[in-house]
Structure 1
Amino acid sequence: MTTPQTGRRPSGLVVGSLVAISFGTVFVLVNSGGLAAPWPLVIRVAGILVAALLVVALLRVGRRAPAVVTGGPAAGFMDRRYWIIVAIEVVALFGGLNVINRVLDRPALAVAWVAVVVGVHFFGLGWIWRMPRFHWLGVVMTVLGLAGFLVHALGGGADAVALVAGVGSGAALYATVALALRDVVATTR
């Protein structure tokens, strides 16, 4: 994710990390509400604190390590392949949610489906952006989503599914940002 030879950060690190922190926070805040007190408050405060610390660390790293400038073709969010992956993700996400909520009448599984679809989309992003860490994030989020389905199949309630698939996915996104920042700091020393 970093360029060890130059000690520079990837050009998309700041934007990508802000997106991951934002979605991680949404996963944590939305999916911790069904737990017994005091856990929703504890998890939400911890999630917001982690997000704030990651943003501060990201800003510090962004100032210290200059971005890699590439002279190649359009990349990042301007890459056509990115938009193809996003389009497939949207169709899978909303198509699957429609089936889960309207056909199967199992709204507790919605967050598990979201985790699976978002996890799978990271495989495509990791490939087009040549970021192996996204493959690991894809594995973790997909497994968390599948674990949410398993929890439900074994009799777990919506709160347990949300904790595993939702809060777990938020933690995975936070961890990915933390690891990326650690790598940049390690290469700039």
Structure 2
Amino acid sequence: MTGTNNKRQLSGLIVGSLVALSFGTVFVMVNSAELSSPWQLVIRVVAVLVAAGLLVLVFRTERASTPAQQSDVAGFSDPAYRYAVIFEVVALFGGLFVINGVLKKPDVAVAWVAVVVGLHFFPLGRAWRMPFYYWLGGAMTVLGLAGFLAHAAGASAATVALISGVGSGFALYAAVLMGIRDTRSRQVAAAAR
């Protein structure tokens, strides 16, 4: 909020960052569970500290910004968003059913989740005009595929979870940092005009 009586809705930076930080932290916490001591604790503490620091930066960045002007970005009403969510739900649960129920390979479930979530960021990047979502989508998809390859090479479930799960959590944190940087760059450009 600014010092005026203007009420502001939560910005895309805040909403997107809260979602990314929440899911990123869940990815890290759940997928570091099988790591040996002290790595499990170290990774979890680092994740919480990074998420908390990013949250502070998000709110500081938002506080310094002016109310966003209306734009022609459709966001949640864009058909690309709806199709991305439909794809994600069907692919996620259908794939997990096959992986866990048919193939009996729960060790690669997190790799599948990373691939599907990664792929859903491509249409979201288009719908929301956020090019760094392409980077995030690519990173998570590669981390998921790396988890499958590691499993095929004989890696343990903990290693697959570290690559695909913990790696995806930190990729989500990196996307929040990119969103902060993008917002600050736009603020500097607007101030220079």
User: Normalization by structure 1: what TM-score?
Assistant: 0.89
The one-character-per-residue Cα deviations of 1:128-168 (angstroms, maximum 9, x if unpaired) are 22221111111100000000000000000100000000000
Using the alignment, how far apart are the partners of 1:165 and 1:17 within structure 2?
20
Offset, 1:84:
2.1
> What's 1:185 paired with?
184
SS at structure 2 position matched to 1:37: coil
Using the alignment, how far apart are the partners of 1:185 and 1:121 within structure 2?
26
Conserved 8 A contact 1:11-1:69: no
Using the alignment, how far apart are the partners of 1:53 and 1:20 within structure 2?
14
Higher relative contact order (CA 8 A, sep 6+): 1
Alignment of 1:85-124 (within 5 A): 85-124=84-123
Offset, 1:17:
1.0
After TM superposition, the structure 1 stretch with the greater mean CA deviation from structure 2, 155-164 or 175-184, is 175-184
Alignment of 1:1-189 (within 5 A): 11-70=11-70, 72=72, 75-189=74-188
Give, as a single letter, the amino acid of the residue that structure 1 aligns with 2:143.
L
Give, as a single letter, the amino acid of the residue that structure 1 aligns with 2:161.
A
User: What percent of counterpart residues are identical?
Assistant: 60
Conserved 8 A contact 1:12-1:76: no
Give, as a single letter, the amino acid of the residue that structure 2 aligns with 1:39.
W
- Select the structure of larger CA radius of gyration: 2
Offset, 1:109:
0.4
Using the alignment, how far apart are the partners of 1:85 and 1:39 within structure 2?
35
User: Normalization by structure 2: what TM-score?
Assistant: 0.88
Using the alignment, how far apart are the partners of 2:113 and 2:66 within structure 1?
34
Name stretches of at least 5 consecutive residues in structure 1 with no aligned partner.
1-9
Q: May I ask how many residue pairs the two structures share in their alignment?
A: 179
Offset, 1:95:
0.2
Offset, 1:71:
5.1
Conserved 8 A contact 1:96-1:113: yes
Offset, 1:78:
3.5
The CA RMSD measured in Å over matched residues stands at 1.6
After TM superposition, the structure 1 stretch with the greater mean CA deviation from structure 2, 121-130 or 135-144, is 121-130
Conserved 8 A contact 2:132-2:178: no
* Moved beyond 4 Å, runs of 4+: none
Give, as a single letter, the amino acid of the residue that structure 1 aligns with 2:24.
G
The one-character-per-residue Cα deviations of 1:92-113 (angstroms, maximum 9, x if unpaired) are 0000000000111000000000
Name stretches of at least 5 consecutive residues in structure 2 with no aligned partner.
1-9, 189-193
